[in-house]
Chain A
Amino acid sequence: MKTLLIAATAAGALLTGQAQARTIAVTPGGDVQEKLQTALLDAKPGDTVMIAAGRYELTDGLSLDVAGVTVKGAGPAATILSFDGQKSSGEGFLITSSRVTIRDLGVENCKGDGIKSKGADQITFRNLRVEWTAGPKSTNGAYGVYPVASTNVLIDGVVVKGASDAGIYVGQSKNIIVRNSEAQFNVAGIEIENSMNADVHDNLATHNAGGILVFDLPNLPQMGGHSTRVFHNRVVQNDTQNFARKGAIVGDVPTGTGVMVMANRDIHVFDNDIDQNQTAAIMVVSYTQNYDDLTYNPLPRDIAVHGNRFGKNGWAPQFPGGDVIAKAMGGTIPPVVWDGVTNFTPKGMSAPVAVHVHFTDGPVANLHFAAPGNVFSAKPQVTPTLDDGAIAEPKPVVLPKAQAGL
C-alpha cells in the first residue's frame, strides 16, 4: 500500500475533464497481489490504474467493482499479469462494474477464464493479449476474454491463444462489437452466444478448431439470440484438433470449421475470406441435444450468406458421416452447408416458425435433415445458391458515444 504511488496530476484532470481523476500507478516488485488488488479497490470513478511494464506473478484472481475506471498497462507484451501460480478464483481478472476499460496488457496462464466481465454496461477490452503459453491443452482455462450478461461490449485489438473453449466469448449480452482481434489455437476462435446485436468484423481466426461461432443454447436466462453480422473477417486454416472436454458445446464443433451458426435468427455472414478449413467454410445447423425448455427454438432462421471469398475448404470433414456425405457430393463439402431443418413448431403454436435462408454464395449443400441432428434422414442436395429472397440486414451496432470514442 505504501509502495503505491498515487499521483493526482493537474494534466490528467485537464485531459479527462474530470476534476478528481487520478492515476494510481502500480509497479512490479514486492507483494504485487496486494498492491494491484488494493489499487483496484482504491480506484474511484474516473481514475486510471496504470500498471507499469514488468511481470506480475499473482496467486489469486484480481477484481474490479468500481464504475468508470480504466485499467491500463504498458502494452500486451510489456505488462504481464502471470497466473502461473494461481491458487483460487475462477478467472484471472473479474470486472463487475460498468464503464470500465481494460487495455494494453497481457494475461497469461489463468487456471480458469482469462478476463471476465459480468453484468457490466459499457465494457471495453482493448489491445490485450490473453494467452496460455504452453499451446492448446484441455487443461487450459475455458475463455480468454469473457463478457457475459453485459451490454455495450467492445472488444478491439485483442489477441487470445490457447483457450480450451472459446478465445473471445461473448455470452448473454447485448450490443456488441468484436473487431481487429485475433484468435489462434483455441477450440473456438470467436463465439457469440445467446446474444443480441453483434458486429464481428475485421478479425483473424486461424489455427482454432472452429473459427467464428454464433450459437444460441437452451436453458439459459437469456435466449433467442439474433441480429449478428459477421463480416470482413479472415477465417483461415482452422486446423487445431478440437481439444475441448466433453460436455462443453464447442466440443461438438468439427475440427476445421470456418463459421458455424447454430440456432439464432437474423445472422448475416458476408465479405469474409474463408480458406483452408477442412470440414466446411460455413455451417448453418440446429441445436441437436435434448433440452427441457419450451421457449427455445433450436433452428437457425433468417440466415444470409453472401459476398464471401472461399478458398479451399471441406476436403476432409470431421463430423460423423462427413466422409460419406463428402463422397456423395463429389469428394468435397460445398462451402455453405445447411442442415435444412424447417419444421419446428414451438409449444402452443399451430404451425412451424417460418425459416428463410438467403445463401447467394455457393454451392450450397442442403442436407434436408428431417429433424435436428438426424443424420440418417439426410437427403443431401447441392445447388449453386439457395435463396428465399433478401433478408433485411441488422443495423450496424452503435455504442454509446463515450465508449465509441475511446
Chain B
Amino acid sequence: MRRALAALAAVLCLGAAPAPLMCGPVNLAALMSATPAPTLAVYRLFTDEDAAHPNARVTPYALNTPLFSDYAEKSRFLYLPPGAHAVYRPTGALDLPVGATLVKTFAYPADFRRPADKVRVLETRLLIHRRSGWVALAYVWNKEQTQARLKRAGPRLDVSFVDVHGQARSVDYKVPNQNQCKECHSLSGHIAPIGVKARNLNGVFAYAEGPENQLAHWTRTGLLTGAPTPDKAPRTAVWDDPAEPLEARGRAYLDGNCGHCHNARGMASNTGLFLNLEEARPARIGLNKRPVAAGKGSGDLEVDLVPGRPDASIIAYRMASADPGVMMPELGRSLVHDEGLALVRDYIAKMQKPAAR
C-alpha cells in the first residue's frame, strides 16, 4: 500500500497536478529556516513518503570506512542547492556551500541475511549548512513508516533483528539528542561534517547508471570542483576488505570510529590521544601512552596501546565493553562491534614496535 501510494505520488508529480507535499524540488527555504520543519517530508529531499528515492540534486554516497552504529544500515545523501558545488580539500571534510545538506537514514532489516526484506527505518539525520553554521537535526520514523517527526531530546527505540549469523539480537537504540550530534560533529566547538572527506569518499559507488568512483562522479556531474583524479587523491582504506593492508584497515577503523572526537580539535582533545588518520606521532596514537581521564575505563591496564599485545591495550578493552562508563565510543553504540574489535585487536597484535629514537 505504502509503495503504491508513493508510486501514485510520483505519477501525480509528473502530471503536474495540484502539488501534493512530495512534488517539486528540494525545499531549500525550509532547510534554511531557523525553525526546523516538524516532519522530514517538508524538505522534499525524497520523492516518496518512505524516503527511498532521492529528489533531484540529492546524491547517494557511501564511505570507505564508516562509524559503527549498532549494526544499523545507513544510507547517505548529499543535497546541493541549484548552482552550488563542493570544493575539494585534500584533508578534512570537503568545503560544502551554504545550503548543502547531508542526509543519513538509519535502518534495520528484520534479518541481515535478507537485507532488502522487511526493512524498518528508524531515523533520518540531517546536517544542514546554514549561513550561521551547521545545524544537526534528527527525524524519527513512525511505526507505519509513513512519517518522520523531529525529535530533539533523543528518544530510545526498541529494535530487534537477526544478525548475519542467524542470531537474534536486540538493541536499546538511542537517537542522539541535538547536543549529542555536536559532541561527535565538533571541530573547535563548532558543528562540522565528519564523513565527507575526500579520502573516505575515494571509492566506487554503484550508481543507477553503473559503478563509478565517487570523486570522479561528483566531478563529472558538477557537484565537486578542484579534485584530482582519484588515483592522485588520498584514500581511506576499506576496513573490512581483507585485500587491503591490515595496518591501513586498523587505522581507517580507528579514524572512522574514534578520530572524530580523538583529534586535536575534537571533543576528546584533552585526552591527548589522537586517532585521526593524519596523526603520526606514536604517543599521540596511543603507543605506550598512559590514560589521563579514563577512570575505570583503564580496566587495570597501564597504557592505551601496547604493540603486539591487544589484551594489554586500553583501546581494545574499551571497544570490548558495553558499560557506559567504560565503552568507547561513548556515544552511538550500545553493542560491541565484534568485527571491528577483531580487526583492531589484530592490528595491535601484528603491530611492530616503533624503532627507538
Contacts and interface: CB of A to CB of B under 8 A. Distances in A.
Interface of A: 33-34, 37-38, 40-41, 59-60, 63-65, 86-90, 94, 96, 110-113, 118-119, 138-143, 146, 148-149, 164-165, 169, 171-172, 193, 217, 219-222, 245-249, 289-293
A142 B272 contact: no
B113 interface: no
A164 B296 contact: yes
A333 B218 CA distance: 72
Given A38-B152, A65-B179, A292 B283 contact: yes
A141 B295 contact: yes
A292 B257 CA distance: 25
B178 interface: yes
Contacts of A119: 189
Contacts of B292: 171, 193, 217, 220, 249
A87 B294 contact: no
Contact of B295 (A64, A165, A289, A290): A165
A139 B296 contact: yes
A90 B325 contact: yes
Given A111-B323, A221-B270, A64 B179 contact: yes
A40 B325 CA distance: 23
Given A41-B179, A63-B183, A149-B270, A164 B154 contact: no
B182 A41 contact: no
Given A37-B177, A89-B331, A148-B270, A219 B290 contact: yes
A247 B287 CA distance: 14
Nearest to A246: B300
A142 B290 contact: no
Given A142-B294, A164-B296, A112 B179 contact: no
Interface string B273-313: 00000000011100111111111111111110000000000
Interface centre among B264, B267, B324, by most chain A C-beta atoms within 10 angstroms, is B324
Interface residues of B, number: 48
A386 B152 CA distance: 60
Contacts of B300: 245-247
Given A90-B325, A96-B179, A112-B324, A142 B270 contact: no
B154 A37 contact: yes
Contact of A249 (B186, B271, B290): B290
Contacts of A169: 293
B295 A59 contact: no
B174 interface: yes
Contacts of B301: 246-247
A100 to B, nearest CB: 13
A315 B156 CA distance: 54
B332 to A, nearest CB: 9
B296 A96 contact: no
A43 to B, nearest CB: 11
Contacts of B47: none
A245 B317 CA distance: 13
Contact of A221 (B152, B264, B288): B264
A193 B291 CA distance: 13
| Chain A interface SS verdict (over half) | loop
A138 B294 CA distance: 12
B303 to A, nearest CB: 7
Nearest to B323: A111
Interface of B: 152-156, 172, 174, 177-180, 182-183, 186, 189, 264, 267, 269-272, 282-284, 287-303, 314, 323-325, 330-331, 334
Contacts of A142: 293-297, 325
Nearest to A37: B153
A37 B175 CA distance: 13
B272 A86 contact: no
Per CB-CB distance, the 3 closest pairs between chain A and chain B, nearest first, are: A142-B295, A247-B298, A111-B325
26 contacts: A41-B152, A41-B177, A60-B156, A60-B174, A64-B179, A87-B156, A88-B330, A89-B180, A94-B179, A94-B183, A96-B183, A110-B325, A112-B295, A139-B296, A141-B295, A142-B293, A142-B294, A148-B293, A219-B284, A220-B272, A245-B295, A245-B296, A246-B301, A247-B291, A247-B298, A248-B295
Given A139-B325, A164-B295, A245-B298, 6 more contacts: A37-B152, A38-B152, A65-B182, A149-B270, A248-B298, A292-B288
| Chain B interface SS verdict (over half) | loop
Contacts of A34: 153, 155
A87 to B, nearest CB: 6
A37 B151 CA distance: 11
A113 B290 CA distance: 19
Contacts of A291: 283, 290
A88 B325 CA distance: 8
A88 B272 contact: no
Contacts of A110: 325
A293 B292 CA distance: 15
Contacts of A112: 295, 297, 324-325, 330
Contact of B324 (A89, A164, A247): A89
Contacts of A139: 296, 325
B293 A247 contact: no
A219 B272 contact: yes
A110 B326 CA distance: 12
A148 B269 CA distance: 10
Contacts of A59: 156
Contacts of A193: 292
Contact of B270 (A41, A90, A118, A249): A118
B296 to A, nearest CB: 5
A221 B269 contact: yes
A158 B175 CA distance: 32
Interface centre among A96, A217, A219, A293, by most chain B C-beta atoms within 10 angstroms, is A219
A289 B301 CA distance: 14
A11 B92 CA distance: 49
Contacts of B296: 138-142, 164, 245
Contacts of A221: 264, 269-270, 272
Contacts of A146: 293
B333 to A, nearest CB: 9
Interface centre among B177, B288, B303, by most chain A C-beta atoms within 10 angstroms, is B177
Interface centre among B156, B284, B325, by most chain A C-beta atoms within 10 angstroms, is B325
B304 to A, nearest CB: 9
